[in-house]
Amino acid sequence: MNLKPNLKIALIIITIIALISIGFKAKPILGNYDDFNPEKVYKITYRFFFKSGDKNTTLKTYIPTTNSRQRISGEQIKNDSLLFFTKQKEKHQNIRAIWETNDTNSYHSIDYEFIFEGKAKHYKIPNTFNKLSEEYDEYLKATNDIQSNDSIINTLASGLIQNTKNDREIIKNIFDYVYEIPSAPIITLTDALTTIKQNKASCNGKSRLFVALCRNMGYPARVKGGIIVENANKRTSHAWVEVLINQTWVPFDGLNNHFAFIPANYLELYQGDKPLITHTADIQFDYSYQIDEVNHVSFLKMNSEELHKLPGFSLWNLVDKKIIPKGALNLLLLLPIGGLLVAFLRNIVGLKTFGVFLPVLIAFSLSHTGFVSGIAIFVGLIMFIGLIAYPFDKLRLLYTPKLVISLTIMVSLIVVATHFGVKNNIEWLTKLTFFPIIILTISAERFSRSTLEDGYIKAMDKLFQTLIATSISYLILSWTWLPSVLILFPEIVLLIVVLATFLGRYIGIRWIELFRFKPLFNSENKKLNF
Amino acid sequence: MFSIIFNKKSIAASSVIGLNERNIKLIYPNNPKKHYPLADDKVLTKEILHQNDIPCAKTYAVIEYNSDIKKAWESCKQYNAVAIKPANGCGGGGIKILKKNKEGDWMSSGEVITDRQVFQHMASIIMGFFSLGSHDRVLIEECIEPHPFFHEIYPQGVPDFRIITLNNTPLMGMLRMPTDRSDGKANLHQNGVGIGIDMKEGRLLEVYDGKKYSNHHPDSTFLVNGAPIPYWEEILEICISTAKAFPLNYLGIDIVIDKNKGPQIMEINVRPGLGIQLVNKTGLKEVIKEAI
């Protein structure tokens, strides 16, 4: 690569500055590496207010513990000195926080605060389950609200067993049956039988019925209690179910349609069919859960203040102050990296793509729609545009009006498809939000322009190469660490400029040209041999 | 690792020029972007050719506005054959060759064409139908009759020479010919064939069809390899004078040989393709080194 001396010096200086700046931050960051990698981090505060009664007053609630998919830290308890606080370990690894007072007829408030870091977890379910030891007998017993031995449950269970081949299908049938029950925010206690009779239930009723059906068929099952955390002030807790499958408790949520899956924002608090809060009867009591999402870098053990104190320059301020929405900031930061990648694919590999940033932007849209369905939608729509453009070509319409027709038809198609998807519950059809539609529209325009300039065969070839570039961009850009790395080390942008300058002066043969000019290279080798 | 990615070794060993090197070493320093229209717009190209008395198809009329179509077409009716082209067309779209038959009716692609149809075609050229939406001009010019030399190799379509020049020096050339599969087009991408040229001797070399080399055109038995090219000296001369006439120093010049008038410049290209290296089995770098 033949660069002018001034340019070379400038590039070297830029590289050194960037590397020094990165070096300053690298040490504290590497020292705080965290292999837990939470997807969601929230600060959760239980807030309780009550007026104590005439005698001793007690308030009990479950508090979470750390496990393989949730990490609890930063516990802080604020209560007045008249309250006596204890923690109590209970059966089934549940932990309860208990506040007691002898101070009668007085107002009290409690703030119990902790940091929750959560990960989603998928479970694989085998087709047949192993035989169980007796230690799990208690998870097969009927209770007052989980009437697993009742004849109605019996009948329902034998109906669900019919035409099933294995344990997995039975569990799936139970899940589907419970999921189909219309959900309703019912506050009063709904037991398993009532859920069947009313044919509507909240998370509690559905969970009890799910557990009752499992226990009836001999699968140990239990109710699980917790909170769906989201950036809000809320009062509702949540209940779901765990079934013991080959020594693993596998989660199922028949209300929110999570089959053998627990989302990152599910805070697990306790197991068993119990209320989250209990208190002495007949007192004035109010509560809320205050939940705030905490900005975090998934691979770092550092909190926001520690990140602010990093030496040198980082973009953490933009993230923390929410100056730019997080998604937009990520897109902004990834665009140069994606551009560099496409430049590499075009100038060194030799791929032909529609535009420079289009493969990158399509890759971003794919992160909204999912890769496979996104590619399917993309190719389908573009083929469709190609097909409908054909009769209008024959009509000899001018280019721009013809484009308007194509795009109008495409937008209508997207709207109809989304409508159809919503109506028939086909999820992947409903994912074309504003951003992917814009990108698809631009791509379709480029494609139809290319069919005119280069003909259909070349345009298809270019489309195929664009898809290859898109897939490679998607692979690299969907690496979740990348935006965080760029936020911590914005100097990388300088390195991108340096690399792009080198690419811009690159005069070597492209990889694809190695094939194109193969006969020439072969004959040259022969000449050398003579 | 780095040398694999950047093909370091093959750069050193090879004399083949790729797209990257063509752009950075040949096009950017030699062809200022502001002069591109001189090559891209056929009307502007021909103005310069006429000014410098370089042989090319005679311009019969240039039509800029719809209102001028009728008058211009009346003035062209005296000729027996004309070619109608969009000045900024791409990929050969919108070109119509019209010839009079014995009854004096105009024929296009074997069918009689009415004045009204001719007007419509010209109107769609002006509206930019063949130049992606931008307003365009109609160029009506003399129709070239290929030299009988070409008939011996392959009788159909219009074959043309492509000569690459750098700083007014012809570097490399090829003859492009249509085939049975190429629908009258001489372009290598569209199933035409390229024939290499010995620039010093003015003789044809092997025929390249995009995959393999042979001594014959795929649709005839005439021995091409070694055949002398008629008017070769004139072809080189008009190439050099064309290269001198334009403020562009790296050009692909397209030339046809007319039955009566000899070599004629058809058009010039500021971004000539690199396939010519394959046709001649020679890298451009080697030729450039020799020329300097």
Classified by CATH at the fold level, domain B58-142 comes out as Dna Ligase; domain 1 (3.30.1490)
Which residue, A175, A135, A142, A174, is CA-closest to A156?
A174
Confidence band (pLDDT; 50, 70, 90) for B158? confident
The domains located in chain A, with CATH, are 42-119+280-293 (2.60.40), 121-263 (3.10.620.30), 316-510 (no CATH)
Bridge partners, A243 (sequence order): A221, A250
The predicted pLDDT at position A529 comes to 43
DSSP A347: I
The answer to whether residue A505 neighbours chain B at the CB level (below 8 Å) is yes
Which residue, B189, B223, B219, B225, is CA-closest to B205?
B225
* Interval B131-155 mean pLDDT: 87
Mutant choice from A524, A525, A529 vs B, greatest count of B C-beta within 10 A: A524
At residue B48, does pLDDT exceed 90?
Answer: yes
Specify the 3-state DSSP secondary structure of B129: coil
Q: Tell me which residues of chain A have a pLDDT lower than 50.
A: 1, 528-530
Q: How many CB atoms lie within 10 A of CB A239?
A: 22
Distance from CA of B190 to the nearest CA of A (A): 11
First and final C-alpha spacing in chain B: 35
Taking CB atoms and an 8 Å limit, are B90 and A455 in contact across chains?
Answer: no
Taking CB atoms and an 8 Å limit, are A508 and B18 in contact across chains?
Answer: yes
Taking CB atoms and an 8 Å limit, are B11 and A348 in contact across chains?
Answer: no
List chain A residues with CB under 8 Å of B127. Answer: 398
At residue B1, does pLDDT exceed 50?
Answer: no
Angle between helices B232-245 and B42-51 (to 10 degrees): 110
Taking CB atoms and an 8 Å limit, are A452 and B277 in contact across chains?
Answer: no
The answer to whether residue A81 neighbours chain B at the CB level (below 8 Å) is no
Contact by Cβ (8 Å): B161, B244: no
The answer to whether residue B283 neighbours chain A at the CB level (below 8 Å) is yes
Q: Which residues contact A176 (CB under 8 A, 6 or more apart)?
A: none
The predicted pLDDT at position B133 comes to 64
Taking CB atoms and an 8 Å limit, are B281 and A399 in contact across chains?
Answer: no
Q: How many CB atoms lie within 10 A of CB B290?
A: 8
Q: How many CB atoms lie within 10 A of CB A12?
A: 11
The predicted pLDDT at position A471 comes to 94
Nearest residue of chain B to residue A403 (CA atoms): B133
At residue B3, does pLDDT exceed 50?
Answer: no
Classified by CATH at the fold level, domain B33-40+146-291 comes out as D-amino Acid Aminotransferase; Chain A, domain 1 (3.30.470)
The predicted pLDDT at position A323 comes to 78
User: DSSP states of A167-179 as a string?
Assistant: HHHHHHHHHHHHH
Residue contacts between A and B (CB atoms, under 8 Å): 84
Task: Please give the distance of CA A396 from its chain centroid, rounded to a whole number.
Answer: 48
The predicted pLDDT at position A392 comes to 76
Tokens for A144, please give them. Answer: 């007052």
The predicted pLDDT at position A530 comes to 39
Nearest residue of chain B to residue A343 (CA atoms): B20
Q: What is the ipTM of this complex?
A: 0.80
At residue B11, does pLDDT exceed 60?
Answer: no
Confidence band (pLDDT; 50, 70, 90) for B162? very high
Which residue, A224, A206, A221, is CA-closest to A267?
A224
Long-range contacts of A91-97 (CB under 8 A, 24+ apart): A92/A270, A92/A271, A92/A272, A93/A65, A93/A271, A94/A62, A94/A270, A94/A271, A94/A272, A95/A62, A95/A63, A95/A64, A95/A65, A96/A60, A96/A61, A96/A62, A96/A63, A97/A60, A97/A61, A97/A62, A97/A63
Side chain identity at residue A2, one-letter code: N
Torsion angle of alpha carbons A102, A107, A110, A111, nearest 10°?
-170
The predicted pLDDT at position B116 comes to 92
Instruction: List where CATH 3.30.470.20 sits in chain B.
Output: 33-40+146-291
Of A347, A511, A517, nearest to B277 by CB-CB distance is A517
Cβ-in-10-Å burial (0-12, 13-18, 19+) of A15 comes to: middle
Instruction: List where CATH 3.30.1490 sits in chain B.
Output: 58-142
Of A348, A396, A399, nearest to B5 by CB-CB distance is A348
Q: How many CB atoms lie within 10 A of CB B45?
A: 23
